[in-house]
Amino acid sequence: AKAAGRNGYHFYTTGMHAEALKRLELDRWLREAIERNELSLAFQPKVNLKTRDYTGAEVLLRWYRPEQGFISPAEFIPLAEETGLIKELGMWVVRRACQQLSEWRGTPLSHIRLAINLSAIQLEDKELVHKIDNLLREFDVPPRQLEFELTEEVFIQNIESNMAHLNELIKMGFRLSIDDFGVGYSSLAYLKHFPISCIKIDRSFVSQLETNADDRVIINAVIAMAHNLNLSVVAEGVETEAQAAYLQKQGCDEAQGYLFAKPLPPDQLYKLATSLRNG
Ligand code: C2E
Ligand code: CA
Ligand code: CA
Ligand code: CA
């Protein structure tokens, strides 16, 4: 950019300025999103690779702004993490998920386990565990119906306070899993110290496994290591039968991806569950 001279430099700063403005605007919209009722939850089923039975679903936040259409979480979650708004958004997700579970009581989705994404930033909140506990009581949800997906940074930064919070969550009866495994950090030492029950292999290792031998080597190693540590393994982003067959052959326990189901609004997940039950 420097070599481009004066005009190039000018162009560069204008670009940054536009980007900064866009983020400011997005941040302002996001702050209105809860009140304007623009947020909702989508549920993506996980399946047992051997039996192909549904084992639960991941909760994914959706934002529909009438003026703009759907805005991707890949765009607004990182921004919310930077500004700290994720603490509020994240609690909204836990509340809505608990409320949904209470609405599903007495239906075929009565005992479904939901996996909720928790950002590292949310764990900084000293009141997090207490707030989650209150929501469980409010909606009468047993902890075994909730699982939390945590990315690797949780195990690398603020280790002492994160460990304390995670141990509290474990004591309360929640399951914890490591999300996007393999993309974040190279240290594996944390696996020994944290009370984790499941590893989710990142989609980037799955999407090209049919043609990329390195991806297959990494997947095999992760599955072997996880099983030796008594952890179960979920593969994310499974889109083809060939990928599912390979992962199953390697002993991967569960999978998630468009091959089985896209993230669904609650009524569609409900229809799927009732159609399964009725044959
Ligand atoms: P993630 O936790 O890794 O979630 C999986 C993402 O992969 C989702 O994208 C899902 O729709 C997508 N996906 C699932 N199956 C397939 C597939 O077969 N192929 C492809 N190409 N994609 C697939 P989504 O919903 O756009 O979410 C993106 C990220 O935003 C999530 O990645 C997660 O990091 C974050 N996110 C979403 N909801 C929440 C939330 O409630 N809280 C927090 N902290 N983060 C969230
Ligand atoms: Ca996740
Ligand atoms: Ca993931
Ligand atoms: Ca991922």
Cβ atoms of 180 and 152 closer than 8 Å: yes
Whose Cα sits closest to atom 21 in ligand 1?
Answer: 237
Tokens representing 91? Answer: 């609690």
Tokens representing 137? Answer: 């009581």
Cβ atoms of 13 and 21 closer than 8 Å: no
pLDDT of residue 188: 75
Tracing tokens 């009732």 back to the chain, one arrives at 274
Ligand nearest to the CA of 234: 3
User: Ligand 1 pocket: which of 77, 88, 204 to mutate (most atoms <8 Å of CB)?
Assistant: 77
pLDDT of residue 242: 98
What is the H or E stretch that residue 151 is in? strand 146-151
pLDDT tier for residue 155 given thresholds of 50, 70 and 90: confident
Global confidence as pTM? 0.93
How crowded is residue 130: how many other Cβ atoms within 10 Å of its Cβ?
10
Q: Given the CA of residue 81, which atom of ligand 1 is nearest to it? A: 44
Is pLDDT above 80 for 83? yes
CA distance 162 to 75: 26
Is pLDDT above 80 for 3? no
Could you tell me if the CB of 93 is within 6 A of ligand 1? yes
pLDDT of residue 4: 47
Could you tell me if the CB of 61 is within 6 A of ligand 1? yes
pLDDT tier for residue 192 given thresholds of 50, 70 and 90: confident
Could you tell me if the CB of 243 is within 6 A of ligand 1? no
pLDDT of residue 5: 46
Give 7-22 pLDDT, tens digit per residue.
455 555 667 788 888 8
Tracing tokens 């928790």 back to the chain, one arrives at 118
Is pLDDT above 80 for 154? yes
pLDDT of residue 2: 42
Give 217-244 pLDDT, tens digit per residue.
999 999 999 999 999 999 999 999 999 9
Sign of CA dihedral 110, 113, 119, 124: positive
CA distance 152 to 66: 35
Whose Cα sits closest to atom 17 in ligand 1?
Answer: 237
Let me know if 167 is exposed, middle or buried by CB neighbors in 10 A (0-12, 13-18, 19+): middle
pLDDT tier for residue 73 given thresholds of 50, 70 and 90: very high
Give 57-67 pLDDT, tens digit per residue.
999 999 999 99
Rounded average pLDDT over 170-183: 93
The total number of residues written for the chain in this structure: 279
Indicate whether this complex's ipTM tops 0.90.
yes
In the reported structure, the alpha carbon of residue 78 is separated from the centroid of ligand 3 by a whole-number distance in angstroms of 14
Rounded average pLDDT over 17-40: 93
CA distance 59 to 90: 11
Tell how strand 175-181 and strand 198-201 pair up.
parallel
Residue among 53, 75, 60 nearest 266 (CA): 60
Query: How many helices (DSSP H) and strands (DSSP E) are in the chain?
Result: 11, 9
CA distance 87 to 94: 11
Sign of CA dihedral 121, 124, 125, 127: positive
Residue 36: strand, helix, or coil: coil
pLDDT of residue 31: 95
CA distance 74 to 229: 31
The mean of the pLDDT values for the chain is: 92
Residues with Cβ < 8 Å from 194, sequence gap 6 or more?
Answer: 155, 163, 166, 176
In the reported structure, the alpha carbon of residue 1 is separated from the centroid of ligand 4 by a whole-number distance in angstroms of 32
